[in-house]
Amino acid sequence: MLCLLDRLPAFADLKSEISDLKSTSESIARQLRGWADSLQNSRIKGQRYLTDKTRQAEKAARERKEFLEKLRQIREQHKPESPSNGKDVEE
């Protein structure tokens, strides 16, 4: 549509605005294509397969993964330093 408007003499005074809109619409189309590709490559079969039960299971799995990652980070931050001689410092 924008290509047609760009060629019509009645819209000659709007060429720069039409050009900007064409550029923006092409960028949006590329973003949508990338999003569609990521969905096609995901594990989700389609909307009809997403029930409340599967959504809840996905959410629980994601939260569990985030929780375990947080625990790992806490363990790493509070990891006791091992003494060079192998004995406990507090003995």
Which residues are CB-contacts of 33 (< 8 A; sequence separation ≥ 6)?
none
Count CA atoms closer than 13 A to 30's CA, side-chain side: 5
- pLDDT value, residue 68: 96
Q: How many domains does the chain have?
A: 2
The reply to whether 65 falls in a domain is: yes
Same-domain pairing of 1 and 31: yes
- pLDDT value, residue 81: 72
- pLDDT value, residue 82: 63
The reply to whether 20 falls in a domain is: yes
CA 56, 57, 58: angle at the middle one, nearest 5?
90
pLDDT means over runs of 10, the chain (91 residues): 88 90 95 89 72 85 96 89 58 48
Place of tokens 């047609």: 4
φ, ψ of residue 61 to 5 degrees: the values are -65, -40
Q: Structure tokens of 2?
A: 């924008």
The reply to whether 71 falls in a domain is: yes
Q: What is the residue range of 53's domain?
A: 47-79
Which of 22, 20, 16 minimizes the C-alpha distance to 3?
22
- pLDDT value, residue 79: 80
